[in-house]
Structure 1
Amino acid sequence: MTETPSSATPPSLTSLARGGGCGCKLDPAFLDRILADSPPLPLNPALLLDAATRDDAAVYKINDEMALVATTDFFAPVVDDPYDFGRIAATNALSDVYAMGAKPIFCLAVLGMPINVLPPETIRHILDGGRSVADSVGAPVAGGHSIDAAEPFYGLVALGLAHPDQILTNAGAKPGDVLILGKPLGVGVFSAAQKRGLLTPDDYDAMIATTTRLNTPGADLAGLTGVHAVTDVTGFGLLGHLSEMCRGSNLAARIDRTALPVFDGARRLLDQGVRTGASGRNWAAVEPYVTQTPDWSDSDRDMLCDPQTSGGLLVACTPDAAADVLAVFERHGHSAAVQIGQLEAGEPMISFSA
């Protein structure tokens, strides 16, 4: 292996990648074109959930009491600190297991690094950060796969277990359900600001705190009466993932714009013109499903389409269950969780109040 000389200063992680975090995801419209002619998966009664509904993970029924939840997620660096990058990537990957109502059991690492550019200790710190998160929830990294890549990327294959009758999907919402979002929006804006040297230390701390906060409430929500659908808000932004829930459930959504949680620093940076390239791609994909209001602004659009790395859970539940759902979030340290709207019978469109 070719190693960077010890006397050389390695480049920053984010400088080695064109994008970072969940903003690296292929945009929804391009993904549609890729998958348009894909043959259907073979019918298998044990495969409870596959890619057809674009849910957060696949689910395989092992027996009447147990189902295996499987997912993978990886991306390019969203921060320059290798340990923090590892923590963020692992937290993000495990989020998909929690979004299905499952508990993770073990993981496999997915690693690509330009080994002629980055020293071994930097790569080791990335792996250590990811391992620390996985170990904290009893889901050890048991192995994985690595390649020499032109751009750095890291993530996990995450496996979990759940009861087959308590799997949470993004397509089970009911008319009258309210929508609860577990984390504030703005991580994509923070990431873009960091690349431009505009992120303040306080904003950086806020970004690290939210992106390394595991979505553990999902496992408890699975057994809660009145919870009908859950997904996590990541690379397609709030509107993208909400539109998938609306289409999967064949319902319309109405969002209270004044209730949306947004980091103060992200609002300020948007006013300064900081935004991600992915927000525009996300908007192009979701625009047909959105009813705009007369006072709609570019900042509104960019924040609602901002790609969230390790974003919050989006929960659809009955109004009577909302207090219990919020209590679960609070118990797991997600004090920013808030009700942001509701679902209604109608075409799968998203509209806004206030």
Structure 2
Amino acid sequence: MRGFQGVQDPRILAGAETGDDAGVFALHEGLALVQTVDLITPVVDDPYQFGQVAASNALSDIYAMGAVPLTALNVAAFPPDDVPLGTLRAILHGAHDKVREAGAVILGGHTLNDPALKFGLSVTGTCDPRAYLSNSGARPGDLLVLTKPIGTGVLIGAYRSGWLDEDGTHMLVRNMAALNDIAGRMALSREARAATDITGFGLAGHASELAGRSAVAICLWFDKIPVYHEVFTFIERGVNTIITSENRRHVAGSIRVAGDISATEEQLLYDPQTSGGLLVSIGSDEAVGYVEALRNAGVEAAAIVGEVVEAGEPYLDVTRS
């Protein structure tokens, strides 16, 4: 979107210029629309599970804004000559069930022929225009909470190589399909200052964006970051993604990584996530209670992973602890 001059309208509260996870459009004093669209390529072979993950991934942008999803439209790119029609039906079924779990409804959608299978949703939600989460509100003194483990890019690669066992695959799919609704709702109720969901740019990319938009420095404590089991083993076996190196280049000028963090550990910071957790900037007086409430509600991986500090120039600092 760089170089694109968006429409100037006072009703646009979050748009292309703000770099938020979703757009926000004020309807009246107490109600705004929140809109997003996202689609992904298959991350598992089971089409129903893929539909669930793709739906959760798209819905996450709504939750990152502290909003509530209302409706969705399917967006499907489908190679008609290579994939049975029953596969598409199973993908749609998985997405339908996940959207219903979120309390929203699918109104329809659009399908197009494409050599590569892709699926996702366009989602519309609502929020109070006076109280929603953006990526520009982090303040010095805040603590940072991450609500899901990182490492999905590595584990998806291991799965495709036949190295991830049945238990590992089940755990991965379960976490990717899990909604971020509880994390988003509780963050808003505890007056969190900012949030973003961790997806394709990896933890480093999204944390760096949060720092830049908020004009602060973000310090991540590597040993506190929740990580999927076996992820470092797979990295050492050579599992990687094309996007990982791109993510690393993207933040090269704005990240400082402590010397005692290994190359294997650092690689995980740039690992692209599918349907990752929320990174929430919240007041230090609320952070511990927020994490405890999340864990009690079943968001077991939630952890305080860093802090926000004042800085003359935004940057991301990664230390051991």
Normalising by structure 1, we get a TM-score of 0.88
Q: Secondary structure at the match of 1:269?
A: helix
1:166 aligns with 2:131: yes
- Unmatched tracts of structure 1, length 5 or more: 1-34
Matches within 5 A, 1:231-310: 231-310=196-275
One-letter code of the match for 2:189? Answer: G
Matches within 5 A, 1:166-245: 166-216=131-181, 217-225=183-191, 227-245=192-210
Matches within 5 A, 1:313-352: 313-346=278-311, 347-352=313-318
Change (3 A) 1:328 1:101: farther
Matches of 2:15 and 2:296, distance apart in 1: 31
Q: 1:51: Cα distance to partner?
A: 1.2
Change (3 A) 1:145 1:331: farther
Q: Secondary structure at the match of 1:51?
A: coil
Matches of 2:52 and 2:112, distance apart in 1: 20
Matches of 1:190 and 1:134, distance apart in 2: 25
Q: Aligned residue for 1:15?
A: none
1:55 aligns with 2:20: yes
Matches of 2:233 and 2:256, distance apart in 1: 25
CA contact 2:72–2:104 (8 Å) conserved in 1? yes
Q: Aligned residue for 1:124?
A: 89
CA contact 2:102–2:179 (8 Å) conserved in 1? no
Matches within 5 A, 1:109-148: 109-148=74-113
Q: 1:287: Cα distance to partner?
A: 1.2
Question: Structure 1, residues 85-141: CA drift from partner, whole Å, max 9, x if none?
Answer: 000000000000011001100100000110111111111000000000001122111
Question: Structure 1, residues 27-77: CA drift from partner, whole Å, max 9, x if none?
Answer: xxxxxxxx33222x1211111110112110000011111111000000111
Matches of 1:211 and 1:310, distance apart in 2: 5
Q: 1:224: Cα distance to partner?
A: 1.8
Matches of 2:211 and 2:77, distance apart in 1: 35
Matches of 1:302 and 1:251, distance apart in 2: 24
Q: Aligned residue for 1:27?
A: none
Q: 1:83: Cα distance to partner?
A: 0.3
Q: 1:252: Cα distance to partner?
A: 0.5
The equivalent position to 2:276 in structure 1, one of 303, 308, 311, is 311
Matches of 1:324 and 1:55, distance apart in 2: 26
Matches within 5 A, 1:21-36: 35-36=1-2
Matches of 1:38 and 1:284, distance apart in 2: 23
CA contact 2:186–2:290 (8 Å) conserved in 1? no
One-letter code of the match for 1:145? Answer: H
Matches of 1:342 and 1:100, distance apart in 2: 20
One-letter code of the match for 1:238? Answer: L
Q: Secondary structure at the match of 1:143?
A: strand
Matches of 1:332 and 1:187, distance apart in 2: 23
Structure 1 segments, 4+ long, off by >3 Å, are: none
The equivalent position to 2:49 in structure 1, one of 78, 84, 104, is 84
One-letter code of the match for 2:38? Answer: D
Matches of 1:61 and 1:327, distance apart in 2: 33
Matches of 2:199 and 2:75, distance apart in 1: 19
Question: Structure 1, residues 235-278: CA drift from partner, whole Å, max 9, x if none?
Answer: 00000000000000000111111111111221221122212111
Matches of 1:345 and 1:118, distance apart in 2: 53
One-letter code of the match for 2:47? Answer: P
One-letter code of the match for 1:103? Answer: V
One-letter code of the match for 2:185? Answer: A
- Unmatched tracts of structure 2, length 5 or more: none
Q: Secondary structure at the match of 1:222?
A: helix
Percent sequence identity over aligned pairs:
36
Matches of 1:321 and 1:296, distance apart in 2: 29
Q: 1:331: Cα distance to partner?
A: 4.3
Q: Secondary structure at the match of 2:4?
A: coil
Change (3 A) 1:222 1:75: same
Matches of 1:45 and 1:328, distance apart in 2: 37
One-letter code of the match for 1:115? Answer: P
Normalising by structure 2, we get a TM-score of 0.96
The size of the alignment, in residue pairs, is 318
Matches of 2:299 and 2:224, distance apart in 1: 16
One-letter code of the match for 2:206? Answer: H
1:38 aligns with 2:4: yes
